[in-house]
Homo-oligomer: A and B are copies of this chain.
Amino acid sequence: MNAGSVIALSGGVGGAKLVLGLSHVVPSGQLTVVANTGDDFDHLGLRICPDIDTVIYTLADLANRQQGWGRAEETWTFMQVLRDLGGDEWFNLGDGDLALHVLRTNRLNNGANLSEVTAEITKSFGIEVKILPMSDEPVSTMVETPEGMLAFQHYFVREHCEPVVTGFDFKGIEDAKPNPALIPVLAYKTDAIIIAPSNPFVSVDPILSVPGLRDMLRQCGAPIIAVSPIVGGDAIKGPAAKMLVEMGLQSSALEIARHYQGFIDALVIDEKDADLAPAILAMGIEACVAPTVMKDLDDRIQLAKVTLELASRLNGGLAR
């Protein structure tokens, strides 16, 4: 049934989990990840791409699962010396992780674009999934707070998501173009577009805000399926629930449906949220109830299968 390609839109941790599940189910070479780059930033002169790196480390089985970022079996000598030298220490960089940042920065400074560098790194790690930065142009997610705008990593890491969020701005988005490598992928038969259970505001919206990207995805005709990052009213990880509340919205899978209304065909919600299915259906969105909390590899694979079976069903001619 899965003769076509599958495209997943992903942020960091939660998204990467589902991407890993999909990589076990989708035939080799047919899975493409469009990764959020709104989190990317320059730190100590190094270009850091947190979401791309989390996807890479997760697929290469190198991710530090406790931390939710960086590499497992890491050492921290760089940070210790950086502290002695009075350097900026709010953003932790492991010694092994640094190799990736130094190589990438050097390649970018020598004229390569982020797609090329990402493809090189992905290949070095033996990853067969195609990981595409949403755009090669830099986009910076800014978080609006009562005290002013904060660059995303300042909000997320330095301020531990503590400031109240009143809005978002994707700096540079008007000049960003969708990753050109998406065009041949979309020209091929696409079976499914999966929005991984990533933060809708800061992981998925930057991707969908790249001018033209939303339409490209919609126009390819494949069913678009989101997996709710909100389960039982809370986020598995990260500030999605807190953001929803601060934005005056409900922290509920129903709000996720509302957020993606007009773009998605179906929403996968957790069994805990089964009672929300009728309201989601009433919005014109197929609701699919399944276990969505991914604790181990088997959970990731099962959820991946759920999304692909749902796509297959929607492709089969179900009324949309």
A86-100: CB near B (< 8 Å → 1, else 0) gives 110000001111111
Q: Are A78 and B98 in contact (CB under 8 A)?
A: yes
A95 adjacent to B124 (CB under 8 Å): no
Q: What residues of chain B lie closer than 8 Å to A97, measured between beta carbons?
A: 81
Closest beta carbon of chain B to A62's beta carbon, Å: 9
Residues of B with C-beta under 8 A to A66 = none
Of residues 154 to 209 in A, which have CB atoms within 8 Å of B's CB atoms? Answer: none
A99 touches B121 (CB 8 A): no
Indicate whether A85 sits within 8 Å of B103 (C-beta atoms), given known contacts A75-B77, A77-B75: yes
- In Å, the complex CA distance between A232 and B49 comes to 56
* Cβ 8 A contact of A85, one of B71, B100, B109: B100
Contact partner of A125 (CB less than 8 A), chosen from B46, B84, B94, is B84
Q: Who on chain B is nearest to A109 by CB? A: B45
Q: List 24 A-B contacts (CB under 8 A).
A: A44-B106, A45-B102, A45-B105, A45-B110, A46-B102, A75-B75, A77-B77, A77-B94, A77-B96, A78-B95, A78-B98, A78-B99, A79-B99, A81-B95, A81-B98, A82-B102, A84-B125, A85-B100, A85-B103, A86-B120, A86-B124, A95-B98, A98-B98, A102-B102
New A-B pairs, 20, CB < 8 Å, besides A44-B103, A45-B102: A45-B105, A45-B106, A75-B75, A77-B94, A77-B95, A78-B96, A78-B98, A81-B98, A81-B99, A82-B99, A82-B103, A85-B100, A85-B103, A85-B124, A86-B120, A86-B124, A87-B99, A87-B103, A95-B95, A98-B98
